Structure 1
Amino acid sequence: MNLRTMTLALISSLIAFSSYAAAPSGDGPYVLYKNNQIEVRSIVMENGVQKVKLATYPVSKKAVVPINVEFSEHPEWNFSVKLQAALKNEPAEFKQPDKLLALSDIEGEFEALRKLLLANKVMDEQYNWTFGKGQLVICGDLFDRGEEVPATIWLLYKLEQDAKAKGGYLHTILGNHDIMNLSGDLRYVQPKYMSNAKLMELDYMELYGPDAEIGRWLRSKNLIEKIGDNLCLHAGVAPVINDLKMSLKEINDRCRPFYDQDRKSITIPDKAVELLFDGGRSSLFWYRGYFVEPKATEAEVDQTLALYQVKTIIVGHTITDTNVGFYYKGKVLGIDVNQHAGKHEGALYENKTWFKINTTGSKTTIGTY
């Protein structure tokens, strides 16, 4: 292919992508609290045209407010959600479950998440939790790139409640894209979400702000958790973070007030917390030192394991050809795969064995660590 042909092909691709990205679609619902009222906004498609729906309820009726997640192209995917009575900050440590499914970097790919959860019997077609006392951990990145960000988050919000009712648990850990959306770094947000916010007469930042239900829910989540023998987070623990010798609870509690702070306009006065947010170098949600040079040494990985008394560190954030897979002699488990390119996989711990799983229900042994 000559240069002119390649250039024309690239231009055609960009035009096609632009047209696709600009295509109108449904969105929401978004739940906001204003003047002691609950406002539920959504965008629905009627004869190919976007229509804004707004319903208002008194806060006293929160338990019965209908939250309906609808898909114009796939009505069979529709589901409803009950608003949680109260949102509390998550604990930092949990006992080892018999079954643990670990996924990461869903980034708005609702169909991929739905297929993974169905194939691995975490839920049924009606979105009921069927994983029993098993636990599901999402190691960060719910936002950006994908076309169904709100639906993805609402599904986790719903299953979190169902899991607890059945003796299981759903852990949602925040990644860099989640922190970016909370703090106003919107460089990867799909343009349609900006347009839709304007159509609903809102600023995009209000959709996940402190007066929004999902915004409040996200702020209750952690950056790092210990689930039995596993340390779960988005990116990794840099050697300099080991040196802080902070407990997991302390890390989460001290970082939480800065989740939604614009880093361009504020300076974090707490030097330890500054290290935990330091993008690209030591941040728990940006670090790539398990996979990219300069890499952490095995001794530094061992230091993290000893500090938090775990056997395995489970991370997303960095895609490699060998994910889902183990590194550092089974001490680090990388689970980030390119969901947008159709690679839908995760890691399942069951019967004291780790398996790579996908959307077909098949399981491939990757370790007995």
Structure 2
Amino acid sequence: MEMDSSNLTCRDLPPILSSFVDAFVDFSVSGLFFPNPNPNPSAPPATRLPAPGRLVAIGDLHGDLPKTLQALSLAGLIDPSTNRWTGSATVAVQVGDVLDRGGDELRLLYLLHHLKLQAAADGGALHTIHGNHEIMNVSGNFRYATAAGVDEFRRWALWYRAGLAMKRLCPGVEIPPDPFKGIPKSFPGVKKEFWEGIRARLAALRPDGPIANRFLAGNQTVLLVGDSVFVHGGLLQNHIQYGLEKINEEVRDWVTGLNGRISPVFVRSRDSVVWLRRFSEGWNCDCRQLEGVLELIPGAKRMVMGHTIQEEGINGVCEDRAIRIDVGLSKGCTDGLPEVLEINGGGELRILTSNPLYDRQHKRRRVVEEEKKGLALLVPDSRMEVEVKA
């Protein structure tokens, strides 16, 4: 029996109205439509996942949507004409630092969330892990936020508040807690033109904030997929001894507001899992220490890291036991050419790149120092195969 629309009242509308408003706000902020904007939250991914047939790793994105789309397309994960998932059963891991240094932070969070849903429906998966910049922003440290990034959150706040106002028009609609409650309206030492954006950023990203809860709470801090362990900065023996599952749980509880306002110690110090550079900086890596760390993780053969920009592109040291994949692709960093790492089921490693300076025959990077010198600097070789794409 069809319902007579003339008899509809607010009593009949709460679930429909709430879903409509959420979808309206999402589309207004991101240009993406989520048929079910706020599904029941699924359990966070396990810390250890089985090896897929194809595994792809993507480095730091830092608020650059166009370059991110290039990297995703290079990896064969999206159709560049529609930005829809085309990776089928591929499992992809993005190693953190989606936030800061650019003006597309929210649009990137929405895009990655959208692709996660599509990948899961297609038998694949997209996992994002925490970088130091996610931890900084949840902590309220915005020193690397750009004016464009702050303004993006200001605009988010306008739509979010419009959604709250729409829900309040109909009694019975569940109204979420006001994320702006308790946040100051002025920020001495900050230009007044940025106050609204800073306030919105705090509201959205603080522990239990709507953006933190929706897009960051499901991140792991350390993730083992097959024989590859993914971490933004790096791992030391004390991290393994403390427990990777425990680190993931404590960070997740903090992001969701269950563990106070101060970030857990293992994501806070210089030698923490999101800040460590011991295995990603320079060519004199302590391979013996790295080997000792990997030996403590059953089945792990390599550590895949972001965090430290590799101006020569993705590379491996210690016989490719340490793989560094942050190519500084964001215009807010070094505007590097996108590259991604592919790990096939048999353990074969490949760099997917569009860099025309990559010498396919010798599998070594040619970095031209200065045109007038006409010289090329060849960096140390690795065993990784290379595929150069136009």
Question: Same fold by TM (over 0.5)?
Answer: yes
CA distance in 2, matches of 1:66, 1:238: 42
- Aligned mates of 2:314, 2:60 — CA distance in 1: 12
Residue aligned with 1:222, SS: coil
Aligned match of 2:201 in 174, 197, 204?
204
1:1-369 mapped onto 2 (5 Å cutoff): 58-59=17-18, 67-68=26-27, 79-82=32-35, 83-88=37-42, 89-124=44-79, 125-195=81-151, 197-198=153-154, 200=158, 203-209=200-206, 210-213=208-211, 215-242=213-240, 245-259=241-255, 273-274=264-265, 276-280=266-270, 282-292=271-281, 297-309=286-298, 310-339=300-329, 340=331, 341-350=335-344, 352=346, 353-359=348-354, 367=383
Q: Which amino acid aligns with 2:41?
A: L
Deviates more, 1:282-291 or 1:252-261: 252-261
In the other structure, the counterpart of 1:34 is none
Distance 2:86 2:344 in 1: 15
The CA distance in 1 between the partners of 2:93 and 2:153, in whole Å, is 30
Q: Distance in 2 between matches of 1:186 and 1:346?
A: 28
1:322 Cα deviation (Å)?
Answer: 4.0
Alpha-carbon shift at residue 302 of structure 1 (Å): 1.4
Question: Could you tell me which amino acid in structure 2 is paired with residue 207 of structure 1?
Answer: A
Any gaps of 5 or more consecutive residues in structure 1?
1-36, 39-55, 72-77
Contact 1:62 1:85 in 2 (8 A): no
CA distance in 1, matches of 2:273, 2:255: 12
The match for 1:14 is none
Asked whether the 8 Å contact 1:179–1:260 carries over to 2, the reply is no
- Give the whole-Å Cα distance in 2 for the aligned partners of 1:360 and 1:297: 29
Provide, for residues 205-251 of structure 1, a one-character-per-residue CA deviation record: whole Å limited to 9, x for no partner: 12234241554330121100000010001010134324xx1332222
**Superposed displacement of residue 103, structure 1:** 0.8
- The secondary structure found in structure 2 opposite 1:220 is coil
Moved more, 207-216 or 123-132: 207-216
1:291 shift after superposition: 3.5
Cα displacement (A) at 1:81: 3.5
Shift of 1:363: 11
Secondary structure of the residue aligned to 2:78 is: coil
Tell me the distance in 2 between the aligned counterparts of 1:293 and 1:236.
14
Alignment partners' CA distance in 2, 1:61 and 1:194:
27
CA distance in 1, matches of 2:296, 2:63: 34
Shift of 1:260: 7.5
The change in CA–CA distance for 1:188 and 1:333 in structure 2 (over 3 A counts) is same
What's the CA shift for 1:168? 0.4
* 1:296-333 deviation digits (Å, cap 9, x = unpaired): 63222112212112011000001134430111121110
TM-score by length of structure 1 reads 0.71
Report which of the two structures shows the higher radius of gyration computed on alpha carbons: 2
Distance 2:232 2:319 in 1: 20
Partner SS for 2:316: strand
**Whole-angstrom CA distance in 2 between matches of 1:336 and 1:100:** 17
Distance 1:241-1:229 versus aligned 2 partners, 3 A rule: same
Is the 1:69–1:80 contact (alpha carbons within 8 Å) kept by the matching residues of 2?
no
Question: Could you tell me whether the CA contact under 8 Å between 1:182 and 1:260 is conserved in 2?
Answer: no
How many residues of Structure 1 are paired with residues of Structure 2 in the alignment?
300
SS at match of 2:224: strand
Q: Structure 2 length normalisation: TM-score? A: 0.68
Structure with the higher fraction of residues in strand conformation:
1
Amino acid at match of 1:357: L
Please give the per-residue CA displacement for 1:233-285, whole angstroms capped at 9, x wherever unaligned.
1010134324xx13322221123233488x9x9667xxxx52x12332x2110
Distance 1:196 1:213, change over 3 A: closer
CA distance in 1, matches of 2:200, 2:48: 36
| Percent identity of paired positions between Structure 1 and Structure 2 | 21
Deviations 1:147-187 (A, max 9, x none): 21111111110010111111101010010011111110100
Please give the alpha-carbon distance, in whole angstroms, between the structure 2 residues aligned to 1:267 and 1:110.
30
**Residue aligned with 1:80, SS:** coil
Structure 2: how far apart are the matches of 1:294 and 1:347?
19
**Could you say what the CA RMSD is over the residues aligned between the two structures, in angstroms?**
3.4
Give the secondary-structure state (helix, strand or coil) at the position aligned to 2:323.
strand
Pair 143,197 (structure 1): closer, same or farther in 2 beyond 3 Å: closer
Quote the Cα distance in structure 2 between the aligned partners of 1:141 and 1:158: 18
